[in-house]
Amino acid sequence: MTGNTHVLVIGGGYAGVMAANRLTLRDDVTVTLINPRPDLVHRVRLHQLVGGSDDAVVAYEDVLAERVRLVVDSVTRIEAAERSVTLSAGGTLGYDYLIYAVGSGSAEPSVPGAAEFAYPIATLKAAQRLRAVTDATPETAPVTVVGAGPTGMETAAELAEAGRTVTLVCGGVLGPYLHTRGRRSVARRLAKLGVTVIDGPDAKVTTVTRDAVRLAGGRELPSEVTVWTVGFGVPDLAARSGLSTDAVGRLRTDETLTSVDDARIVAAGDSAAPSGLPLRMSCLNALPLGARAADTVLSRLAGEEPEKLHQSMYAQCISLGRSAGIYQFANRSDVAVWLHIDDGLGARIKEMVCTGIPKHLAGEAHKPGSFRLHRMPGGVAKRKQMLRAHRAGTPTTADRAA
What backbone torsions phi and psi does residue 4 show, to the nearest 5 degrees? -80, 140
Kindly give, in sequence order, each residue whose CB lies less than 8 Å from that of residue 79, ignoring residues fewer than 6 positions away. Answer: 85, 86, 92, 241
CA 275 to CA 252: how far, in whole Å?
7
Q: Which CB, 15 or 156, lies closer to ligand FAD? A: 15
CB nearer ligand FAD, residue 41 or residue 186 = 41
User: Cβ-closest residue to ligand FAD?
Assistant: 13
Please, what is the minimum distance in Å from the beta carbon of residue 118 to ligand FAD? 15
Footprint on this chain of ligand FAD (rule: CB under 6 A): 10-16, 34-36, 41, 43-44, 46-47, 74-75, 101-104, 121-122, 150-151, 235, 237, 269-270, 281-284, 286, 317, 402
The one-letter amino acid code at 292 reads R
- Per DSSP, the residues of 312-354 read ---EEEEE-SSS-EEEEEE-TTS-EEEEEE-HHHHHHHHHHHH
Residue number with CB closer to ligand FAD (214 or 251): 251
Q: How far is the CB of 204 from ligand FAD (least distance, A)?
A: 22
**Least distance from C-beta 88 to ligand FAD, angstroms?**
8
CA atoms in the 13 A half-sphere facing the CB of 316:
30
Nearer to ligand FAD, 102 or 365 (CB): 102
* Cβ-based nearer residue to ligand FAD, 46 or 387: 46
Using CB atoms within 10 Å of the CB of residue 199, give its burial: 0 to 12 exposed, 13 to 18 middle, 19+ buried: middle
CB of 141 to ligand FAD, least distance (A): 22
Nearer to ligand FAD, 267 or 298 (CB): 267
- Closest distance of CB 53 from ligand FAD, Å: 13
What distance in Å separates the CA atoms of residue 40 and residue 287, rounded to the nearest whole number? Answer: 14
In contact, 175 and 195? CB cutoff 8 Å: no
The sheet carrying 325-330 orders its strands as 315-319, 325-330, 336-341
Looking at the Cβ atoms of 102 and 186, the one nearer to ligand FAD is 102
Least distance from C-beta 148 to ligand FAD, angstroms?
Answer: 14
User: Where are the strands (E) in 12-127, listed by range?
Assistant: 29-35, 39-41, 57-59, 68-72, 75-79, 84-87, 92-94, 97-100, 105-106, 118-120
As beta bridge partners, residue 70 has 33
Reading across the β-sheet that carries 212-215, which strands appear in turn? Answer: 205-209, 212-215, 220-222
Least spacing, CB of residue 31 vs ligand FAD, in Å: 15
Of the two residues 356 and 369, which places its CB atom closer to ligand FAD in the complex? 356
How far apart are CB 68 and ligand FAD at their closest, in Å?
A: 14
Centroid of chain to Cα 236: 16
Nearer to ligand FAD, 47 or 214 (CB): 47
The CA–CA distances, whole Å, from 43 to 64, 214, 241, 292, 321 equal: 17, 30, 26, 21, 16
Instruction: Give least dist CB 214 to ligand FAD, A.
Output: 25
Residues 324 and 87: their CA atoms lie apart, in Å, by 43
